[in-house]
Structure 1
Amino acid sequence: MSASQSGTKQILIVDDDPAIREILAELLAEEGYAVATAKHGQDALQKLHDDSRYCLILLDLMMPVMDGWASRRRQRLDPVLTDIPVIVFSGADNLAQQAAELAIDDFLEKPVDAEQLLAVISRLCDSATHSGAAHALPHHQTNPPCGQSAS
């Protein structure tokens, strides 16, 4: 039985850095999510077409082959994929402006704060409807980033 058949919520992590994919996948698996990963936007779109029942996409913007901007634009044009919520996580400057241009659901700056990430994921995955519009507010790091201790 697949994760979607058992009711487990699926999340797609899209990042070219294997360490980030692994850390986020472990964190989300510990929280009970089924996780798939993609190393660039083209890989992500293929995974989405293979199984479009993801509750959320975590998307980096700067990647080789196909970056997050191109991937998000193509996702929005596909009627099967357009309503899947997206959280952009990036170290890019002017992230709030980019988030609005991409009509994403939320964004987090790298390094990603684990508690903040889980709160946003819970809000979006547990939401019955997704508008697809950007309601992004800047997030400030208040806790140690994912994979780092407070010391």
Structure 2
Amino acid sequence: MSADVESSDAPILVVEDDADVRDTMVQVLESEGHAVRGARDGREALDALRAGLRPRLILLDLMMPVMNGWQFREEMEREPALASIPVVLVSALDPGTERTASIAAAGFLHKPFELDELLDAVQRAIAHPA
């Protein structure tokens, strides 16, 4: 894992197509002292990663236009510099389905979620990345 990913200064990347949900997640995490960056879909997030962004954690919605969470994760895993970044899946889908369980993740946050659940999922993933 690169030093940038381990750094507490590295941001959390929120990949969520719903602007209200994304903005709320960003605001809550920033209010807790985290540096945060948002992306509207997997393509925007992947472009940022390929441009050098190295977040300490990615909160990844699965159901998005342009590039969904499954496609995004597949692309991440093809690139060694990106594959080790921990990902927490964020979805209304059942975490036990075969398709959802097929994604390597440091955690799962089931929508709709309470803000304390978001903070707990982030703290767990940062403390014990998968």
Q: In structure 2, what is the Cα distance between the partners aligned to 1:107 and 1:17?
A: 18
- Consecutive unaligned residues of structure 2, counting only runs of 5 or more, are none
In the other structure, the counterpart of 1:96 is 96
- What's the C-alpha RMSD, in Å, of the aligned pairs? 1.7
SS at match of 2:109: strand
Question: Do the aligned partners of 2:87 and 2:106 also contact (CA within 8 Å) in 1?
Answer: yes
CA offsets, 1:13-53, max 9 Å, x none?
00111101100000000011111111111101011122342
The CA distance in 2 between the partners of 1:120 and 1:9, in whole Å, is: 17
Task: Choose between structure 1 and 2: higher helix proportion.
Answer: 2
Residue 117 of structure 1 is matched in structure 2 by 118
Q: Which has the higher contact order (CA 8 A, sep 6+)?
A: 2
Q: In the alignment, is the contact (CA less than 8 A) between 2:39 and 2:45 conserved in 1?
A: yes
Kindly state the Cα deviation for residue 7 of structure 1 after the two structures are TM-superposed.
4.4
Q: What corresponds to 2:49 in structure 1?
A: 48
Structure 2 matches for 1:3-82, cutoff 5 A? 7-82=8-83
Q: How far off its partner does 1:8 sit?
A: 2.2
Aligned residues: 124
TM-score, normalization by structure 2: 0.86
Percent identity, please: 38
Distance in 2 between the 1:12 and 1:89 partners? 12
Q: If the length of structure 1 is used for normalisation, what is the TM-score?
A: 0.75
d(CA) in 1 for partners of 2:24, 2:85: 22
Contact 1:89 1:110 survives alignment (8 Å): yes
Tell me which stretches of 4 or more aligned residues in structure 1 moved more than 4 Å.
none
**Aligned mates of 2:81, 2:42 — CA distance in 1:** 17
Larger mean CA deviation between 46-55 and 10-19 belongs to 46-55
Amino acid at match of 2:84: D
